[in-house]
Amino acid sequence: MSTMQHVNPRVRGIRAPVNLQDLAAHISEQIAQGVKKPFKRVIDVSSGDPHKAGMPPISFIRQVLAVCVYPELLKEKSLPLDVRQRAQQLLDICGGGSVGSYSTSFCGIPEIQKSISEFITRRDGGVPSHPEDIIFSCGSQMSLSLVLRLFASVEGKTQTGVLTPMPCPHTLPMLLDMTGLTLVPYRLLEEQGWAVDLGELHRALEAARVHCEPKAIYISNPGNPTGHVQDRKTIEKVIQFAATNCLILLAEEVYQDSVYGQDKEFISYKKVLSEMGKTYADTVELVSFHSLSTAYIGECGLRGGYMEVINMDPAVKRILTILPSLSSPVLPQLAMEIMINPPTPEDSSYNTYTQEIHHIEDTLSQNAKRACEFLNRVEGISCQPPMAGVFLYPRVHLPPHMLAEAKRLGVKADVLYCQRLLEEEGVCLGAGYENGQEDKNYHIRLCILAPPSTLEEVLTRLCSFHLQLLDKFF
């Protein structure tokens, strides 16, 4: 998704902020036309798009998809045998044996629904998942948007609220605004690595009931953009909170395969819920989301994702399964099947695939350590160590004159900071305002899944800009 600045309903009347990615594209065009800048290129690490940042795609995925798109390649002996065999298997489940046919079901190709449910069962140590609970769509954001529409109240009724972490994924406030829902903020604890606090959940819920009817709680685990990984005890407390207050759990778990924090592991909300006894396991409504766009695979442009729907009212679930907009393209469904069923040791592509995945894993974990240590040495910047995901979310301490200038211009101070960084150093970052941050602390968001040389250039330019900013105002 773009880092386009949304107009938050809580700040209506303020002039619309700068669209940072539009500005980045404009500056890149100027450079291409020969306009002199203090830098040779714009580096955009504002969104979790590793391919855009320079990371290569996984060979096996692209090879199989290439054969699926052009079946004549089934005869191409230079391609590994397992690539051609996998492509033929996927073509066999497509209507007419072609990726150009419609998906055979609004929810997704039945064989791929089954494959996803088997993946979830393996992931959760045998906790059963059922194909009929899997709904495929054009990315996890589309899935979430469809669920949010179901919450929207009838006109004239009390507005529906969704408890939302602060910070949150940068597309979420815009989605809530578009669907007419009230964002109910609950603060994550920055000094505790952006942990969820039960007391804060209760405070947010009680405050919200004055002006809206909270019906759901949104959880991001691993945290997006914070990189925090919740432990089992925290997950149990959140589930109990949701059950006590009759809230539907919306669990974004898109970074589940990118945990690199020491002694940290991803545990799904589905798994914990299933192990809490029938009182919870059979009653708490849970929708979990996963995507092609995230972490190691990074196939953002294919726009594929799924949701698993647990304990939802059958009539409501039926609405989700028959919405025409859910008839997703075939190609991302095939890519998802490849993602959850990679080559095995018996396959000829296994060694190459394993090497590529290990390279991405090592790059991500080393980049996270390097960038966090670097930023914490820069005066006026502090960063909590991430445990997972592809973002760092450091706090920037802005000088009073920049705060005053931002107020005069009618923009958020962190947006102005990112705008000036882009104009002066050619680095495009995300502003904390996009992630729902509207307090006295200011943050920036940067994707760290990039070639180490690119990340090093980003850090160098950011440091230069920030220190010059401090020198200018102090």
CB atoms closer than 10 angstroms to residue 34: 6
**Quick check: helix, strand or coil at residue 186?**
strand
Could you tell me whether strands 213-220 and 160-166 are parallel, antiparallel, or unpaired per DSSP bridges? parallel
Which residue do the tokens 């995300």 mark?
430
The pTM of the full predicted model, rounded to 2 decimals, is 0.91
Cβ atoms of residues 45 and 429 within 8 Å: yes
The CA distances from residue 315 to 312, 318, 322, 356, in Å, are 8, 5, 11, 44
**Quick check: helix, strand or coil at residue 250?**
strand
CA distance linking residue 295 with residue 279, whole number of Å: 35
Cβ atoms of residues 351 and 59 within 8 Å: no
Helices (H), 181-329: 198-208, 232-244, 269-274, 278-281, 314-322
Contacts of 152 (CB under 8 A, 6+ apart): 160, 179, 180, 181
pLDDT for res 158? 79
Q: How far apart are the first and last CA of the chain?
A: 37
pLDDT for res 123? 96
CB atoms closer than 10 angstroms to residue 196: 23
CA distance linking residue 161 with residue 24, whole number of Å: 35
Question: Among candidates 445, 347, 404, which has minimal Cα distance to 21?
Answer: 445
The CA distances from residue 396 to 406, 435, 471, in Å, are 15, 15, 15
HEC string for 100-151? CCCCCCCCCCHHHHHHHHHHHHHHCCCCCCCHHHEEEECCHHHHHHHHHHHH
What is the crossing angle of helices 330-340 and 81-92, to 10°?
A: 130
CA distance linking residue 435 with residue 8, whole number of Å: 11
241-279 as b/e, with b when 16 or more CB fall inside 10 Å? bbbeeebbbbbbbbbbbbbbbeeeebbbbbbbbbeeeee
pLDDT for res 470? 85
pLDDT for res 6? 38
CA distance linking residue 343 with residue 350, whole number of Å: 5
Torsion of CA 141, 143, 145, 147, to 10 degrees: -150
pLDDT for res 65? 97
| Run of H or E residues at 30 | helix 20-32
pLDDT for res 437? 73
214 by Cβ neighbours in 10 Å (0-12 / 13-18 / 19+) ranks as: buried
Could you tell me whether strands 286-291 and 305-310 are parallel, antiparallel, or unpaired per DSSP bridges? antiparallel
Kindly list the structural domains of the chain, giving each domain's residue range(s) and its CATH number in brackets, ordered by start: 9-56+354-473 (3.90.1150.10), 60-92+345-352 (1.10.287.1970), 102-340 (3.40.640.10)
Rounded mean pLDDT for each run of 10 residues along the chain, 474 residues in total: 37 51 94 94 93 93 97 96 98 93 80 96 97 88 85 71 95 91 96 96 96 95 96 98 97 94 94 96 96 84 92 86 67 95 97 96 96 96 95 94 91 94 96 80 95 97 93 65
CA distance linking residue 133 with residue 307, whole number of Å: 8
